[in-house]
Amino acid sequence: MAELHFFTGTMDCGKSTLALQTDYNHRRRGLAGLMLTSHDRAGVATVSSRLGLSADAVEVSPSTQVWALVAARLTAGARIDYVIGDEAQFYTAEQVDDLGRIADELDVPVYAFGILTDFRTRLFPGSARLVELADRVETLQVEALCWCGRRATHNARTVGGIMVTEGEQVVVGDTDGAGVVGYEVLCRHHHRRRMTAVSARVAESGAEPLPFATG
């Protein structure tokens, strides 16, 4: 019996890398898979890892009917031995239901990857449904670290390095500090205190924080 497997963790903990490795390992054994993604930082219809690897994928938008997509491909004679779904936090609950149906009714294993919670610590709809449905939920072993050295468990959204708590749930961005709006992974202690690396440095130096809106 095929399983629906959900791999989760904070941003920047290696989920897309593992998705690409999972695809590679299956292809090495002559299997053919379907890769899904949504809103990858590198662009549409791409799974990309910060280690530099990337692969083409089918972009999942809110209107994508995942079951129908897979059924149409199989009917057209394509082989689908496994399904990989990256950025699965952005899928709708119905799309995740379809992933479960693919595992159950087609006996095709499904590997989903995504962050659990948003910048306000609330579950994403896709991740919530995956927790409800998955046969296995696994937290990645690679530990992304908070600036204090503790294991990072939460994703903070930042503007100019300062944590914000207002805004749309979905804003594509990175943890690399390059954009004005970005993300930083923090331990719960520092997420609760809204203390990012920048605000910790400011607090230590006694300087005034930069005049960015903090929401």
Active site residues: 87
**Residue nearer to ligand LXEULUCI on the CB measure, 50 or 150:** 50
The count of residues interacting with ligand ADP (CB under 6 A) is 13
State yes or no: residue 144 binds ligand ADP (CB under 6 A): yes
The rounded distance, in Å, linking the Cα atoms of 133 and 91 is 14
> Scanning residues 28 to 57, which ones bind ligand ADP (CB under 6 A)?
49-51
- Starting at the edge strand found earlier in the chain, the sheet holding 110-114 runs 58-59, 33-37, 82-85, 110-114, 4-8, 136-139
How far does CA 10 lie from the centroid of its chain?
8
**Residue nearer to ligand LXEULUCI on the CB measure, 79 or 177:** 177
Task: Give the shortest CB-129-to-ligand ADP separation in angstroms.
Answer: 20
**Residue nearer to ligand ADP on the CB measure, 11 or 70:** 11
DSSP reduced 3-state for 37:
strand
State yes or no: residue 16 binds ligand LXEULUCI (CB under 6 A): yes
**Residue nearer to ligand ADP on the CB measure, 17 or 196:** 17
The amino acid at 162: I
State yes or no: residue 12 binds ligand ADP (CB under 6 A): yes
DSSP reduced 3-state for 151:
strand
Identify the residue among 15, 129, 190, 191 touching ligand LXEULUCI (CB under 6 A): 15
Task: Give the shortest CB-144-to-ligand ADP separation in angstroms.
Answer: 6
Neighbours of 198 (CB within 10 A): 19
> Long-range contacts made by residues 48-52, C-beta under 8 angstroms, separation at least 24?
48/16, 49/14, 49/16, 49/17, 49/19, 49/20, 50/12, 50/16, 50/17, 51/17
Task: Summarize as ranges the residues that interact with ligand LXEULUCI (CB under 6 A).
Answer: 11-12, 15-16, 41, 115, 118-119, 155, 157, 169-173, 183
